Structure 1
Amino acid sequence: MCFISFFFLFMYMLVNMIGTIYLLMMNLVIFLEWEIVSFNSMNIVFSILLDWMSLLFMMFVSMISSSVIFYSKSYMKSELNLNRFIILVLFFVLSMMLLIMSPNIISIFLGWDGLGLVSYALVIFYQNIKSYNAGMLTVLSNRVGDVMLLMVIAWMMNFGSWNFIFYLDLMKSDLSMQIISCLIILGAMTKSAQIPFSAWLPAAMAAPTPVSALVHSSTLVTAGVYLLIRFNNLLLGTEFLKMLLLISGLTMFMAGISAIYEFDLKKIIALSTLSQLGLMMSILSMGMSDLAFFHLLTHAMFKALLFMCAGVIIHMLNDNQDIRYMGGLSLYIPLTSLCLNISNLSLCGIPFLSGFYSKDLILEMVSMSNLNLIIFFLYYFSTGLTMFYTIRLLMYLMVNEFNLLSVYNLYEEDYTMLKSMILLLIMSVISGSFLSWMIFFYPYMIFLPFNMKMFVIYVTIFGGVFGWLISLMNLYSMNKLILSYKLSNFLSLMWFMPNLFTYGINYNILKLGQNFMKNIDLGWSELYSGQGLYKILKNYSIIFNNLLMNNFKIYMYSFILWMMFMFFMKMI
């Protein structure tokens, strides 16, 4: 099952690559319509939009998913239900493909909801209490976005069709623009885990590591960004984009700060994903959708590789995820350490790795834009924080002493995992340069003073130095550095968002639903509709049945009662 899925996805990636190059060279867009049902004047049509963007994105999704499935063959080999896991991953990929190539809001919703449903099944895959809690948090947060898309579907009935691709320019001059753009932005914020919906992203780490590699690189969390890229023409010029710029900037900042305090290997990488999602959303809200798409693709490569390396390390250390127990891994597993270091440096934007081409261009365009000081600070400080937590992670994993309490014989015995990581390693090095040549039809002209041009380098160096210093400290020293235990608690716990959402909003909403069910569905509603009506009708039917039996006593009793009633009425 693993090999067949890997083979077909890999072949599909090659087909998409050829199609992308052809459409780019010929400047073509292919729009297909498949008429499923035609009855009188009613047509049910399934539409597919194939342009260079959708084909290129599908190529990257199929490349990462083929590597992840090949990797799962070894990573999940002790799993009894491996075929079920592979089928769930394939459904996940198919939902994303449907979302990518849909010009129709209905089929986008099918892919969108498919992602949410299958992600829930994957997060609770290990079936323990932590997985169930994480899955419930994930699915309830994503339901908010589903409701927003349902409202968009209802509102777009005003236009006579759900093919939004034809109506983007028309909707600009309509009142609907404000309503639809607000709903689309809110829906994208839930899927891409922007504040205040950020709590589910680190919680989703309860899923198996191959799922994390797929989810955090090119599928679930990027669905919101991709939706905003498709609706970009409609959103330009709306007030909601300014709000999105601030929220996504704060998400970048919050994720970077929380990653500094975190000691769980997978959660550090998850928080770095959250930071990069904030970067994509913020540059998108400035109207540069091509740059957001460029960073989306380069980020997918090194983030998938980063999670795969984390999976190998967790396996080697007997399923231990705490980085304080790790150290000196470059001596024991050099090839995995090489992949981890390259993907981490690419995440930091080290020159001539894939992340550099997108991140550096984004920051230079921000420097040239007409922005206020808060947004400028959030961008550059978050970039420094990326280097900060990355160098701290590398120090804990590679340089510090090996701290595991037991003695383990660490060596790279599993070449299946290494083979699956080699393709992503190559792409993490070269994808930035070849994508920048391929997808930009015009050169970005950057004119900046020397110090502004070098500001990214300055911030990166400062972040690296502070990351090295913090890696030498323990948590107690870090708390003393912040000067306040309460403040450091606030910063380390993602501004209390997991607590607020888990115990505050989600718990109270579920409790409210339970009360409604007890008091209305099983209470008043049952008393006065279902059961109540049944009892009344049953009693009356017994009375009428007795009357119809022609029983003389009943007639006599009825007659006497009627006479008494009439006498009483006359007396009054």
Structure 2
Amino acid sequence: MCFISFFFLFMFTLLNMLCMIYFLMKNFVIFLEWEIISFNSMNIVFSILLDWMSLLFMMFVSLISAVVIFYSKGYMKTELNLNRFIILVLFFVFSMMLLILSPNIISIFLGWDGLGLVSYILVIYYQNMKSFNAGMLTVLSNRVGDVMLLMVIAWMMNFGSWNFIFYLSLMKMDFSMQVISSLIILGAMTKSAQIPFSAWLPAAMSAPTPVSALVHSSTLVTAGVYLLIRFNNLLLGTEFIKMLLLISGLTMFMAGISAIYEFDLKKIIALSTLSQLGLMMSILSMGFKDLAFFHLLTHAMFKALLFMCAGMVIHMMNNNQDIRWMGGLSFYIPMTSLCLNVSNLALCGIPFLAGFYSKDLILEMVSMSNLNLLIFYLYYFSTGLTMFYTIRLLMYLMVSEFNLLSVYNLYDEDYSMLKSMMMLLMMSVVSGSTLSWLVFCYPYMIFLPFNMKMMVIYVSMMGIIFGWLISLMNLFSMNKFIMTYKLSNFLSLMWFLPNLVTDGFNYSFLKLGQNLMKNIDLGWSELYSGQGMFYILKNYSNVFNVMMMNNFKIYLYSFVLWMLVVLMFFVGMI
């Protein structure tokens, strides 16, 4: 099953690549409509939009899916129901492709909801209480976005068709379209985990590592970004987009700060995904949709590789994810360490790896734009933080002494995992430069003073120095000197977002339910309805029970009584 799925997805990738190059060269767009059913005036139509953007993104999704499925063959080899796992992953990929191809809000919703449902099933794949809680948090956070899309479907009934692509330019200043754009932004914020919906992203790390590699690179979390890329023309005039710029900048900053305090290997990588999503959303809200798409694709490659390397390391470490109990890996698993280092450096934007081409371009465009100091600070400080937590991670994993709790069990032998990682390693090196030739039909002319041009280098160097210093000493021993315990708690716990959206959010509803039960269900309502009626009926039934017993005296007494009543009635009539 693994090999068949890998083969078909890989062939589909090659087909997509050839079609994409042809469409790009010819500036070609195909719009297909298939009428499923027509009944009186009601038509149910399935639409497909094929252009270079959808084909290119589909190529990346199918390539990463193929590689992840091949990787799962080694990673999940002890799994009894491997075929079931592969089928779930294929459902996931199919939902994403439905979302990519559709210019119709109904079929987008089908793909969108499919992603939410299958992600829930995959997060609770390892059936324990932690996975269940993480799955509930994931699916309920994503339901908010589903409701937003349902409201968009309702509002689009004003236009007579759900093919939103026809109305992006035509109805831009219409009130209904402004409402639709606000709802689309809110929906995208839930799927791409912007503040205040960020808590589900690190929680979703309960899923198997191949799923994390797929989810965090090219499918679930990028769905919101892709939707905003498609709707970008509509969004630029709205006031809400300015709010999105601030929220996404804060998300980027918050994720970088939290990653510095984290010791769970997968959660550090998840928080780096959150930071990069903030970067994509913020550059989108400034109107550079091609830059956001470019970074989306380059990020997909090295992030999938990063999760695969993390999975390999966790596998070797006897399922231990704490980076404090790792060290000296470069001596024992050199190939995995090579992939991990290259993907980490691509994430930092080291020249001339994949991440450099998109991140450097984004930051230089930000420097050229007419922005305030806060947004400028959030961009550059978050870039420095990326370097900070990456160097800290590399110091803990590669440079420090061998620090395992268990006996020596490191080996670099699983060739199915290594082959899939090597394929993504090559893409992490070359995809940035290749895409920069493909995506941009003209070069960006960026003219900046020397210090502004070197600003990225300055913040990166600061990040390297701080990351190196922090990893030399225990972070929490430094907290005594640097900041109070409360502040460090606030920074390490994602600004208390997990507590606010789980315990804090649940507590008020549970308290309300408790008060309602105490005062209404067990209070007045019980006295006058349930319990009260029960006592009245019980007393009546006791009386009837006594009467129904075959007691001749009671029958005779009741007969005489009724005769007296009838007699009085007749006397009264006369």
Name the TM-score, length of structure 2 as normaliser. 0.90
User: How many Å apart are 1:481 and its aligned residue?
Assistant: 4.2
Q: Structure 2 vs 1, CA of residues 512 and 154 (structure 1 numbering), >3 Å: closer, same or farther?
A: farther
2:349 alignment partner AA:
G
Q: 2-side partners of 1:227 and 1:472: how far apart? A: 43
Equivalent residue number for residue 551 of structure 2: none
Q: Structure 2 vs 1, CA of residues 509 and 80 (structure 1 numbering), >3 Å: closer, same or farther?
A: farther
2:22 alignment partner AA:
Y
Unaligned runs of 5+ in 2: 538-557
Q: 2-side partners of 1:369 and 1:199: how far apart? A: 31
Equivalent residue number for residue 16 of structure 1: 16
User: How many Å apart are 1:514 and its aligned residue?
Assistant: 9.3
Equivalent residue number for residue 307 of structure 1: 307
Q: 2-side partners of 1:358 and 1:295: how far apart? A: 5
Q: 1-side partners of 2:221 and 2:425: how far apart? A: 22
Please, which moves more after superposition, 20-29 or 508-517? 508-517
Instruction: Spell out, residue by residue over 1:342-373, the C-alpha distance to the aligned partner (whole angstroms, 9 max, x if none).
Output: 00000000011000000000000000000000
User: How many Å apart are 1:402 and its aligned residue?
Assistant: 1.2
Q: Secondary structure at the match of 2:31?
A: strand
Q: 2-side partners of 1:513 and 1:121: how far apart? A: 29
User: How many Å apart are 1:379 and its aligned residue?
Assistant: 0.2
Equivalent residue number for residue 192 of structure 2: 192
**1:164-313 matched pairs, under 5 angstroms:** 164-313=164-313
Equivalent residue number for residue 55 of structure 1: 55
Q: 2-side partners of 1:413 and 1:143: how far apart? A: 42
Q: Structure 2 vs 1, CA of residues 559 and 91 (structure 1 numbering), >3 Å: closer, same or farther?
A: farther
Equivalent residue number for residue 453 of structure 2: 453
1:191 alignment partner AA:
K
1:238 alignment partner AA:
T
Equivalent residue number for residue 120 of structure 1: 120
- 1:110 aligned to 2:110? yes
Equivalent residue number for residue 546 of structure 2: none
Q: Secondary structure at the match of 2:196?
A: coil
Instruction: Spell out, residue by residue over 1:21-58, the C-alpha distance to the aligned partner (whole angstroms, 9 max, x if none).
Output: 01001101111111111223322110001111111000
Equivalent residue number for residue 3 of structure 2: 3
Please, which moves more after superposition, 275-284 or 504-513? 504-513
User: How many Å apart are 1:516 and its aligned residue?
Assistant: 8.4
Report if aligned partners of 1:482, 1:488 keep a CA contact under 8 Å in 2.
no
- 1:139 aligned to 2:136? no
Report if aligned partners of 1:253, 1:378 keep a CA contact under 8 Å in 2.
yes
- How large is the Cα RMSD of the aligned pairs? 2.6
1:311 alignment partner AA:
G
User: How many Å apart are 1:482 and its aligned residue?
Assistant: 2.6
Equivalent residue number for residue 332 of structure 2: 332
Q: 2-side partners of 1:296 and 1:37: how far apart? A: 36
Aligned residues: 542
Q: Secondary structure at the match of 2:287?
A: coil
Q: Secondary structure at the match of 1:287?
A: coil
Q: Secondary structure at the match of 1:407?
A: coil
User: How many Å apart are 1:170 and its aligned residue?
Assistant: 2.6
Q: Structure 2 vs 1, CA of residues 477 and 174 (structure 1 numbering), >3 Å: closer, same or farther?
A: same
User: How many Å apart are 1:137 and its aligned residue?
Assistant: 0.5
Equivalent residue number for residue 393 of structure 1: 393
Equivalent residue number for residue 545 of structure 1: none
Q: Structure 2 vs 1, CA of residues 57 and 506 (structure 1 numbering), >3 Å: closer, same or farther?
A: farther
User: How many Å apart are 1:502 and its aligned residue?
Assistant: 1.0
Q: Structure 2 vs 1, CA of residues 176 and 267 (structure 1 numbering), >3 Å: closer, same or farther?
A: same
1:434 alignment partner AA:
T
Q: 2-side partners of 1:119 and 1:558: how far apart? A: 78
2:493 alignment partner AA:
L
- 1:38 aligned to 2:33? no
Report if aligned partners of 1:137, 1:506 keep a CA contact under 8 Å in 2.
no
Unaligned runs of 5+ in 1: 537-552
1:16 alignment partner AA:
N
Q: Structure 2 vs 1, CA of residues 21 and 384 (structure 1 numbering), >3 Å: closer, same or farther?
A: same
Equivalent residue number for residue 153 of structure 2: 153
User: How many Å apart are 1:329 and its aligned residue?
Assistant: 0.3
Q: 2-side partners of 1:111 and 1:557: how far apart? A: 76
Q: Secondary structure at the match of 1:406?
A: coil
Q: 1-side partners of 2:233 and 2:479: how far apart? A: 46
1:134 alignment partner AA:
A
- 1:350 aligned to 2:350? yes
Instruction: Spell out, residue by residue over 1:400-451, the C-alpha distance to the aligned partner (whole angstroms, 9 max, x if none).
Output: 0111122213120101100011111111000000100011011100000001
Report if aligned partners of 2:251, 2:278 keep a CA contact under 8 Å in 1.
yes
- 1:470 aligned to 2:434? no
Q: Secondary structure at the match of 1:31?
A: strand
1:187 alignment partner AA:
G
2:260 alignment partner AA:
I
Name the TM-score, length of structure 1 as normaliser. 0.91
Q: Secondary structure at the match of 1:221?
A: helix
Q: 1-side partners of 2:148 and 2:270: how far apart? A: 25
Q: 1-side partners of 2:460 and 2:289: how far apart? A: 25
Equivalent residue number for residue 549 of structure 2: none
Report if aligned partners of 2:264, 2:323 keep a CA contact under 8 Å in 1.
yes
Q: Secondary structure at the match of 1:168?
A: coil
Q: Structure 2 vs 1, CA of residues 358 and 513 (structure 1 numbering), >3 Å: closer, same or farther?
A: farther
Q: 2-side partners of 1:516 and 1:166: how far apart? A: 50
Equivalent residue number for residue 442 of structure 1: 442
User: How many Å apart are 1:237 and its aligned residue?
Assistant: 1.6
Q: Structure 2 vs 1, CA of residues 43 and 454 (structure 1 numbering), >3 Å: closer, same or farther?
A: same
**1:537-548 matched pairs, under 5 angstroms:** none
Q: Structure 2 vs 1, CA of residues 513 and 417 (structure 1 numbering), >3 Å: closer, same or farther?
A: farther
Q: 1-side partners of 2:59 and 2:510: how far apart? A: 40
Q: 2-side partners of 1:311 and 1:147: how far apart? A: 34
Q: 1-side partners of 2:365 and 2:61: how far apart? A: 27
**Which structure would you say has the larger Rg?**
2
After TM superposition, the runs of 4+ consecutive aligned structure 1 residues lying more than 4 A away are 506-520, 556-561
Equivalent residue number for residue 550 of structure 1: none
Equivalent residue number for residue 548 of structure 1: none
Equivalent residue number for residue 427 of structure 2: 427
Q: 1-side partners of 2:565 and 2:428: how far apart? A: 97
